[in-house]
Amino acid sequence: MTVGLSLDEARKAGHNIQTGLFPFQANGRAMTMERDDGIVRVVARADNHVILGIQAVGAGISELSAAFAQAVEMGARLEDIAATIHAHPTLGEGFAEASMKALGHALHV
């Protein structure tokens, strides 16, 4: 699933970007589902951390589509997602972890 700009689209648009990629091999819910083959990647502007796009694949990822769309639509920053408490164990933690990784503060990777 892709929401907003892809990595290539953001670069072609002239944005200086930073990304965070979180593999579901490090996500508790994905492990309990025995479906840890997915990822969440966040693409954000490097200057102000506004999220430009999110790409994700994996079992159950469609459940996160509203959260991804809302983040892009509202102009969320990486810090907004990283500071939001995500229930454990859920796939949604992957969104927070990808944002934290983009900021250099990943917990589980």
pLDDT of residue 106: 82
Give pLDDT, residue 108. Answer: 75
Catalytic residue, chosen from 15, 49, 86, 88, is: 88
Residues of the chain with pLDDT under 70: none
Query: What angle (nearest 5°) sits at the alpha carbon of residue 19, between those of residues 52 and 74?
Result: 25
Helices (H), the chain: 7-12, 28-32, 65-73, 78-83, 93-102
What's the pTM? 0.93
88: annotated active-site residue:
yes
Structural domains in the chain, CATH included, are 2-102 (3.30.390.30)
